Structure formats: structure tokens, C-alpha cells
Amino acid sequence: MGRGRVELKRIENKINRQVTFAKRRNGLLKKAYELSVLCDAEVALIIFSNRGKLYEFCSTSSMAKTIEKYHRCSYAPLEANQSMHDIQNCYQEYLKLKEKVEALQRSQRNLLGEDLGDLNTTDLKQLEHQLDSSLKQIRSTKTQFMLDRLSELQRKEESLLETNNALRKKLEETDAALQSSWEAREQCVQYNHQPTQPDDFANPLQCNRNLRIGQILSLVACSLSAALEFVFVPSVQKIITKPLESISCMYGQSEWRTTDLKEVGLMPTHGAILARSR
């Protein structure tokens, strides 16, 4: 009787599995050697056991050269095919982007009112609706911007008003302080410069005659000061009036008029008032 067909499946018995692995490994290595010798073929065989142990056979002197040759022959066409596939994908993407750009350009021209002859009624209605929506959005954005700007200006106005009120209050306080200081200074000046009354002023009959004459001359000079420019010297017997600019004036000149002291009730020997109208 012949041998039955062996079912290919994992051997569950560990010992039987290891024995079978050793037999078939040796047979595979033998077949690889026979193939390389009989057919003059370059054969490389790599086997890893379930424990990770390496078994190899190479018909040439270097396994690395055989593997490198395998990589050149196997992966180079694959890389070329992959590159060609990438190029085709890029070209398809380029065509799609180009079509989108052309559609956007047509839409832009239509929004500007150009190239409307190729549009039908539905396209025109859709374009009109799109323009209305865009216009509403633009108006809404503009209104919101103006409201924001108005609110900002109102805040600035309130800030400026507060600053103005604070400055006005500070200025009023400063003016009040200066006014009080000025009034106090005036009172102090009036108090310090108040002329003292002479002892004989209360009894005019006992006053010195020359002193009475000086007082009368002072009153006359004060009455003439509104219309004349003068310099009053109470220690002398004359009141000489002159303009503010330096003018050498003499008694009896034509541009001056002489007012005798008799006009004010004094004796001629007490001098005269030389005066000139303004």
C-alpha cells in the first residue's frame, strides 16, 4: 500500500516538530546545493528556526552581494513604478486645481457683471441671490464697525469730559487760593503803608505854616494829575510837572504855562506850578 497524503499543518508535538524541521532543513539545503551545481545558478538560502537560529546557504562567496543584487533587481522597478504613479497623481491633482481656478475666475467675472451671456436663468438667479447675500453681509459688517467706532468715540468723549471737569475744578481751587492770598496781601500792604497822622494834625491852628502849604500843594498836585504829567517834590517850594520822557524844562518856556500860587490861595514867594496839558 502507498503512503497517504500528509496534511500540511502545524505539528503540535514539539519534539516531532523539531525533528521534522531538522530533516526538511537539511533536505532543503541539499536541494539548493544540487540546484547551484547542476544548473550553475546563483542560489542563496536563509532559514530562521522558531527559536531565531539562522541557517543559510549561498552558492557564491558572499551572501551580502547576492542580497544586494536581489534588491537591485526587485525594488528598482517597484520604485520606478511608484515614481510614475506619483507623477500621474500629481498631474491629476494639477488638472483638478486648474479646473477650480478657472471656475473661480469665471465666478469672479460673473460677480463683476462680465461674461453673463453663457449663463441661463437658473444661474442668473443664483448669482443674484449670491450678490444679495454678499451685500447684506457687507452692510452688516459696516454697521457693526460704525457702532464699534461710535462706542469708542463715546468712551473717549466721557474720558475727556471727566478730565476737563477735573482740570476745571483744580483751576477753580487754584484761582480761589490765589484770590485769598492776594486779598490777604493787599490787606497786609494797606495796614503796613497806612500813613500816620502827625500830632499837630488834630489842631490845625497850631500846625506849622510850611506844613500846611505842603499839604495844600499835595492836594493841588493830586487834582492836576488827571490832566497833567508831573513830579511832586514836597520838600521844595515848587511842583514841577513834566512829561515821562526826559525833557529839560525851564520856567517860563512857551510850551509850559505858569500857574501862580495865588490861584490856590498861596503867596507868590512860595513858588509856582509849571504844568503842561497831556
Candidate ranges 110-119, 182-191, 261-270; pick with highest mean pLDDT: 110-119
What's the rounded Cα separation, in Å, for the pair 82 and 186? Answer: 107
Question: Do residues 231 and 238 make contact, with C-beta atoms less than 8 angstroms apart?
Answer: no
Q: How confident is the model at residue 72 (pLDDT cuts 50, 70, 90)?
A: confident
Residue 90 lies in a domain: no
Q: What is the pLDDT of residue 193?
A: 54
**Of residues 49, 45, 3, the one with CA closest to residue 22:** 49
Question: Do residues 113 and 131 make contact, with C-beta atoms less than 8 angstroms apart?
Answer: no
Residue 170 lies in a domain: yes
Q: Residue 42 phi/psi, 5° resolution?
A: -90, 110
What's the rounded Cα separation, in Å, for the pair 203 and 212? Answer: 12
Q: How confident is the model at residue 158 (pLDDT cuts 50, 70, 90)?
A: very high
Q: Are strands 44-48 and 54-58 parallel, antiparallel or unpaired?
A: antiparallel
Q: What is the pLDDT of residue 141?
A: 92
Over residues 258-263, the mean pLDDT reads: 40
Total domains in the chain come to 2
Of the three residues 186, 206, 221, the one that is the final residue of a domain is 186
Domain of 76, CATH number, reads 3.40.1810.10
Of the three residues 133, 164, 186, the one that is the final residue of a domain is 186
Residue type, 248: S
Lowest mean pLDDT among 29-43, 163-177, 180-194: 180-194
Q: What is the pLDDT of residue 87?
A: 82
Residue 234 lies in a domain: no
What's the Rg (C-alpha) of the chain?
65
Residue 4 lies in a domain: no
Q: How confident is the model at residue 70 (pLDDT cuts 50, 70, 90)?
A: confident
Residue 73 lies in a domain: yes
Of the three residues 81, 102, 128, the one that is the final residue of a domain is 81
User: Which H or E run contains 87?
Assistant: helix 63-111
For the chain, give the mean pLDDT: 73
Domain shared by 75 and 125, yes or no: no
pTM of the model: 0.30
Question: Do residues 24 and 13 make contact, with C-beta atoms less than 8 angstroms apart?
Answer: no
Residue type, 106: R
State the cell numbers at 115: 461674461
Residue 204 lies in a domain: no
Over residues 152-168, the mean pLDDT reads: 93
Residue 238 lies in a domain: no
Candidate ranges 63-67, 228-232, 238-242; pick with highest mean pLDDT: 63-67
**Of residues 186, 168, 187, the one with CA closest to residue 176:** 168
Provide the residue range defining the domain that includes 57. Answer: 14-81
